[in-house]
Every structure is written in C-alpha cells, then in structure tokens.
Amino acid sequence: MTSITYREPIVSDAQKISELVKKNKPLDENSKYLYILLCHQFSKTCCVAEHNSEIIGFLSGFISPKDHSTLFVWQAAVDDGFRNEGIAKKMAFQTLSGTDPLVKFVEATVTPSNHASLKFLQNFADYVGAKLVANPLFSSDVLEDGHEPENLIRIGPIQKKILEAVS
C-alpha cells in the first residue's frame, strides 16, 4: 500500500505546489506569489499530500468571509499516478478536521464535465455522512473565454463528532 502523509503546507512548498497545479489540467494556473500567500496566510485551510518527500496532492481552501460555518475548497490537484486512491477525499477530510467546530459545510465549484471532481466530492459527502446539493453559480457569460459554467456544490451539515468517528 502506498504511504501518503497529509499536512499543512509551508512557504517553501509553494514552488512544488505551483508545478503540480500546472501539470493538472483543467486547473487554472496562478502566480507563484498566490501559492506563497496560500501557504503563508491560509495554511490552516490548505493541505498537501506527500509521498517519498514529493508533493503529490494539494488542496486549497478558506473559511468563507460571508459565512464562517463554511469551508470553501478552491483548488484540488492529485498527481496523475496517484488518482482514484481517495487522496483528494483525505485532503478535504484532513482540512475540515482542523477547522473550528463552527464549520459545518464544505463548498466548492465544479464544471459539469469534471466527473472526477464531482465524484470525489460525492465520496467525501458520503464519508462524512452529509448531503450534497448542486446548483448553478457562475455562468459561462461571467467566466468568459469559452469557460464552462461552474456549479456550486454544498455539502452539509457535517457533524464534527462524525469526523472523529471515521478518522
């Protein structure tokens, strides 16, 4: 069985995270500065997965400034060779476990064609025993450049006690 460790990112991880995101289409590429900022300011709501000291997974998130009971998951990437082993689900679980007890919902946006992403979120919802609801959020008109629409996925309410039981 592959040995994977999960931890909060640190600033010196930013370059490797940026390279991982670049390799994993259809994720948007952002500046390295953005990843440095995530590792510095948002490390508590981000997670890296490591295998043999290499970063093979990354999940970024933040507590919604509009609703402090919601963890918004922004980008999730798992290296091609490590997919479908539940690593994204584990990163989401690890990140949610580290949040304030008040946090009971997880949100993310997904394009309709990203079946792997939707499946990972559904698996995560099943794992924590919560409902998943999908609704349109950003239309192609808003996103422009031929971008697919992004649907809002909302998972919850999640009982934090359940996280202890299934960890």
Rule CB under 6 A: which residues touch ligand COA? 24, 26-27, 75-78, 83-89, 114-117, 119-120, 123
Considering only CA atoms, which of 101, 93, 94, 112 is closest in space to residue 155? Answer: 93
User: How far apart are alpha carbons 155 and 70 in whole angstroms?
Assistant: 9
User: Which of helix, strand or coil describes residue 103?
Assistant: coil
- What is the nearest approach in angstroms of ligand COA to the Cβ of residue 109? 8
Residue (75 or 99) nearer to ligand COA, CB:
75
Q: Least distance to ligand COA from the beta carbon of 35, Å?
A: 14
Distance CA 48, CA 87 (A): 10
Question: What does the alpha-carbon distance between residue 113 and residue 110 come to, in Å, rounded to a whole number?
Answer: 8
> Which one, 89 or 104, has the nearer CB to ligand COA?
89
Look up residue 110 and give its amino acid: V
CB of 143 to ligand COA, least distance (A): 14
Q: Which is nearer to ligand COA, 23 or 100 (CB)?
A: 23
User: Please, which residue, 119 or 147, has the CB nearer to ligand COA?
Assistant: 119
Please, which residue, 114 or 151, has the CB nearer to ligand COA? 114
Give start and end residues of each alpha helix (H) in 1-157: 14-23, 32-41, 87-97, 115-127, 140-143
Minimum distance, C-beta of residue 88 to ligand COA, in the bound complex (Å): 3
The minimum distance between CB 10 and ligand COA, in angstroms, equals: 21
- The H helix count followed by the E strand count for the chain is 6, 7
